[in-house]
Structure 1
Amino acid sequence: MSSHFPAAASAGPVHIVSLGECMIEIGGQPLKRRYGGDTLNTAIYLARLLQGWPAEVHYATALGDDPLSDGLLSQWQDEGLFTERVARLPGRAPGLYLIETDDRGERRFFYWRNDSAARHYFGGELDFATLLNPSQIDVLYLSGITLALFPPARREALFEALAAFRRAGGLIWFDNNFRPALWRADQAREAHERVLALADVALLTLDDETLLYGPHPAQQAVQRSLGLGCREVVVKQGARPCVVATEAGQWHVPTQPVARVVDTSAAGDSFAAGYLAGRLRGGSIPEAAALAHRVSGAVIAWPGAIIPREAMPALQPG
């Protein structure tokens, strides 16, 4: 097993903590209430793909003390997520977003999140020593959206905590999800590069890298990330083959045809889960990337961020 991915030991399972925000999702015709959030989506798909494997997927965020929060917590637990790191803030509630999709499945979001429980949580005095205790967790998964939720002073404290976690042997997996509505590109570039210098695995979407750095090929994103210190870089290019690179080599893994794209929500999040699960389970880079494409292809054929469990693609040997 690559050192970028922990091996399950006889002492117990691999502990993975995903850090971010989940919101209530309203979408569809007629409108339906669901839920979603980039790191939450990845955590749920990762928990599904690692079912029966010695691993525990934890979610770290904040919810309110309202009935909607109670419902979210119950659904996450039903999915197999460990929720002891979910803070409950009195008088607060989850954020909300409305999603619209066009005939090609491309989506547009409208957010109501500025006073959400998660915003107050990330803006407060988070106990990073407890959250990132290397004796309790093996891996932290976070995204560009996670970084944007922290005010600048607290983001600096997060960077210090990530560096300490990394020095203590913890692994960091990072997805570059960039949302211009949350912060400026120059702020995001600096923050992303701080994390990429510590990351063991980076999952980059070329469209987001283009928003941050201007038009450039996947190879340039790979070289930039490896040069910063990241050890395994995956660049997603939509329907084009993804590019995966380490110091040992580079792979181009083609996507798989999707009969009809219904909703591209969570396409990248589910790809991340497929890739990370494939690698955790001992798969090679091409095998893990192929699984990632299969999972993402299944997800975009359904509306909403989280598809029914019975619609998940079967794991293949290897």
Structure 2
Amino acid sequence: MDVTLNHDPQTRFDRSLKVALLGECMIEMRGEPGAAITQTFGGDTLNTAVYLARLSPRTTISVDYLTAVGSDAFSDAMRQSWLDEGVGDGHVRVIEDALPGLYFIQTDPQGERRFLYWRGEAAARRMFDGPEAEAMLDALADYDFVYLSGISLAILTPEGRARLIQALQAARRAGTRIVFDNNYRPHLWPDPETARQAHRDLLRLTDLALITWEDDVLLFGYRDADALFIDYAQVGVGEVVLKRGAASCLIQCPAGRFEVPAQTVTRVVDTTAAGDSFSAAYLACRLRGGDPEQAARWGHRLAAQVVQYRGALIPQAAMPTMGASSLPSVAQV
């Protein structure tokens, strides 16, 4: 990724890159009412963190997850699952009187999913509240890249959201790059205007935006991709990737505008984490020196594989080959 993208801080990429992803990891349940239930863990930015770690050499790119959890057995198992995937938990806040959120996935015969949530009192909602949050907020400036989503913003209290934006402003002045995935979920916001304002505040700080087309149509009412690209350029987003499901993605960046076709999938089993995995592969490729078109091909390749398996995280053995040998070294990013 171009180190001069959007602003010109001191270059800090003469060592391994540090990437923080922040948001909420939840207990994931899957099954049918009255039948056996399978339990694992998931969440949009956590899914991206895991796939990013799988695609990144640990000697050159380190991946951390920032959130808040409880002190219960599920929270402990959750954190261990991240460590097992190579995702660090050094800046996770533990809130003693709280528990993780929980969601239940049901899928229809076409692989489209329906989610049922229990998250109103989840620990992650309070991750940036109170003086105990200062250490995590200050730590953002220690990372080369911070990745978050519209869900990351939505789950926070108004206090926590305001403090996060302030901390990201300070981190960006210090040279941190911000990556944003819009992931707009109306039921998580009190009203659309609050969501629009929060997204606008974040987009003013964003260097790379990974945008789901349907979500921005719902939130901002865009009629076409041109209108979206114009708005994003006006607020200073240097690189915009427009994800359109099974259709091609569109990219706007300093080198121009590109369209990259998706891969055909004959049998879709479960679309959970399709967008999260695309974003992870795109970012992994860019961090490793790939250009936007190559990064989009990585994104499509991983997403096409993910939708052929149930659940957010496919088995390690099912991860596709990405042709990493053709990439420049991280030092050339």
**Normalization by structure 1: what TM-score?**
0.94
- Quick check: 1:173–1:200 contact (8 Å CA) kept in 2? yes
Matching residue within 233, 246, 251 for 2:258: 251
- RMSD value over aligned CA atoms? 2.0
Kindly provide the amino acid, as one letter, of the partner of residue 67 in structure 2.
Answer: T
Equivalent position SS for 2:127: helix
Counterpart of 2:119 in structure 1 is 113
- Quick check: 2:104–2:117 contact (8 Å CA) kept in 1? yes
Alpha-carbon distance, 1:215 to partner: 5.0
- Quick check: 2:68–2:124 contact (8 Å CA) kept in 1? yes
Counterpart of 2:302 in structure 1 is 295
Equivalent position SS for 1:244: strand
Counterpart of 1:13 in structure 2 is 16
Matching residue within 293, 302, 310 for 2:317: 310
Counterpart of 1:59 in structure 2 is 65
Kindly provide the amino acid, as one letter, of the partner of residue 259 in structure 1.
Answer: T
Distance 1:141 1:164, change over 3 A: same
Q: Matched residues in 2 for 1:130 and 1:74: separation?
A: 20
Matching residue within 206, 218, 224 for 2:213: 206
Q: Matched residues in 2 for 1:124 and 1:189: separation?
A: 25
- Quick check: 1:122–1:149 contact (8 Å CA) kept in 2? no
- Quick check: 1:134–1:168 contact (8 Å CA) kept in 2? no
* Structure 2 residue 51 is matched with structure 1 residue 45: yes
Percent of matched pairs sharing the same residue: 46
Q: Which moved more, 1:38-47 or 1:218-227?
A: 218-227
User: Structure 1: which 5+ residue stretches go unaligned?
Assistant: none
Counterpart of 2:278 in structure 1 is 271
- Quick check: 2:141–2:172 contact (8 Å CA) kept in 1? no
Distance 1:226 1:179, change over 3 A: same
Counterpart of 1:71 in structure 2 is 77
- Quick check: 1:174–1:199 contact (8 Å CA) kept in 2? yes
Q: Matched residues in 1 for 2:140 and 2:218: separation?
A: 34
Kindly provide the amino acid, as one letter, of the partner of residue 28 in structure 2.
Answer: E
* Structure 2 residue 179 is matched with structure 1 residue 173: yes
1:96-111 equivalences under 5 Å are: 96-111=102-117
Distance 1:31 1:130, change over 3 A: closer
Alpha-carbon distance, 1:35 to partner: 1.1
Distance 1:76 1:28, change over 3 A: same
Distance 1:111 1:258, change over 3 A: same
Distance 1:7 1:284, change over 3 A: farther
Counterpart of 2:230 in structure 1 is 223
Kindly provide the amino acid, as one letter, of the partner of residue 2 in structure 1.
Answer: D
Kindly provide the amino acid, as one letter, of the partner of residue 320 in structure 2.
Answer: P
Distance 1:134 1:147, change over 3 A: closer
Alpha-carbon distance, 1:145 to partner: 0.6
Counterpart of 2:330 in structure 1 is none
Residues 237-290 of structure 1 deviation map (CA, whole Å, 9 limit, x = unaligned): 111110110133101000001121111111111110010001111111110000
Q: Which moved more, 1:27-36 or 1:182-191?
A: 27-36
- Quick check: 1:176–1:204 contact (8 Å CA) kept in 2? yes
Matching residue within 26, 29, 35 for 1:23: 26
Alpha-carbon distance, 1:152 to partner: 2.0
Equivalent position SS for 2:290: coil
Alpha-carbon distance, 1:140 to partner: 0.9
Distance 1:207 1:135, change over 3 A: closer
Q: Matched residues in 1 for 2:205 and 2:141: separation?
A: 19
- Quick check: 1:235–1:243 contact (8 Å CA) kept in 2? yes
Q: Which moved more, 1:218-227 or 1:301-310?
A: 218-227
* Structure 2 residue 2 is matched with structure 1 residue 2: yes
Alpha-carbon distance, 1:153 to partner: 3.0
Distance 1:17 1:134, change over 3 A: closer
- Quick check: 1:129–1:161 contact (8 Å CA) kept in 2? no
Distance 1:215 1:231, change over 3 A: closer
Equivalent position SS for 1:172: strand
Counterpart of 2:196 in structure 1 is 189
Residues 32-69 of structure 1 deviation map (CA, whole Å, 9 limit, x = unaligned): 10111111110010000003450100000011111111
